């Protein structure tokens, strides 16, 4: 296999949670560019159909599952439909998540639990659901979307619950990588820096001194800049890589 061929994903099926916009959409399309069939998930049927059609325009198969990931039955349903419509579950990209900006002294237990459940609990449920067929076939790759917020404290916004959840995503990814290595399942995480998405007011001038000017590259990322890194982690190009957290932040977190 040549170096470039190692990045190909032909014949593989990928689930991407939260794939209707932002990083998830870019991940789904990048994986399709590399040859994977895609199961698109989200809450917006119209947006999901648009992504699915973009996948199909690349000559790949696509299937859409609409639902709330926080519903207990949704992870298993997603995996079951991937097997039924795409034939297998070879790759899982856990991208869906939420953020709450609120001072730690004011956040309610319910608000804290909402962030932790969505960003960590649901992610774990998706990992478990995908790992079952991966275990049977003896191979699979999981890529969890963490954040530099998992190892720095972002400023000036207050988001302790989000930061804690992303630190948990990183450590959970490492733990699963060790536990599931004998099953043929690789688990890695990606830690993006500031990216222009719907949940980050990246263009607001009040945040530029903190989010842009402090970056060595003096800019934020676009979602499409994350797609190739996710392809790398999902492909045989990273075959000897598991339990890693790949930082993609323009140098923002460099001490």
Q: Known catalytic residues?
A: 162
CA angle 72, 175, 81 (to 5 degrees): 35
Under CATH, which architecture does the 5-246 domain have? Answer: 3-Layer(aba) Sandwich (3.40)
Show me where the domains of the chain are located. 5-246
What pLDDT does residue 202 have?
Answer: 87
What pLDDT does residue 113 have?
Answer: 98
Q: What is the mean pLDDT of the chain?
A: 96
pLDDT at 199 over 90: no
- Average pLDDT over every residue of 53-60: 98
pLDDT band at 200 (very low <50, low <70, confident <90, very high): confident
pLDDT tens digits for 6-46? 999 999 999 999 999 999 999 999 999 999 999 999 999 99
What pLDDT does residue 140 have?
Answer: 98
| Helix (H/G/I), strand (E/B), else coil: 195 | strand
- Average pLDDT over every residue of 89-116: 96
Token code pair at residue 166: 């992303």
Measured torsion, CA atoms of residues 18, 23, 28, 31, in degrees rounded to the nearest 10 = -140
Phi-psi region of 153 (alpha: psi -120 to 50; beta: other; left: phi over 0): beta
């Amino acid at each position: 296999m040549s170096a470039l061929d190692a990045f190909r994903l032909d014949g593989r099926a990928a689930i991407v949670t939260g794939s209707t916009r932002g990083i998830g959409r870019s991940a789904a399309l990048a994986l399709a560019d590399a040859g994977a069939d895609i199961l698109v998930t989200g809450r917006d049927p119209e947006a999901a159909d648009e992504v699915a059609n973009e996948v199909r325009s690349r000559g790949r198969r696509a299937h859409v599952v609409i639902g709330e990931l926080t519903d207990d039955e949704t992870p298993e349903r997603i995996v079951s439909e991937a097997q039924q419509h795409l034939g297998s579950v070879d790759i899982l990209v856990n991208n869906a998540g939420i953020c709450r900006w609120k001072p730690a002294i004011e956040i309610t237990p319910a608000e804290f639990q909402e962030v932790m459940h969505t960003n960590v609990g649901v992610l774990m449920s998706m990992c478990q659901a995908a790992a079952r067929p991966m275990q049977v076939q003896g191979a699979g790759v999981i890529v969890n979307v963490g954040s530099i917020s998992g190892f720095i404290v972002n400023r000036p916004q207050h988001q302790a619950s989000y930061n804690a959840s992303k630190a948990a995503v990183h450590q959970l990814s490492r733990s699963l990588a060790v536990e599931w290595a004998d099953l043929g399942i690789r688990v890695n995480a990606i830690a993006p820096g500031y990216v222009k998405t719907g949940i980050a007011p990246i263009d607001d001038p009040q945040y530029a001194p903190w989010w842009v000017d402090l970056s060595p590259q003096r800019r934020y990322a676009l979602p499409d800049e994350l797609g190739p890194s996710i392809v790398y982690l999902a492909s045989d190009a990273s075959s000897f890589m598991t339990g890693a957290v790949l930082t993609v932040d323009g140098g923002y977190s460099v001490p």
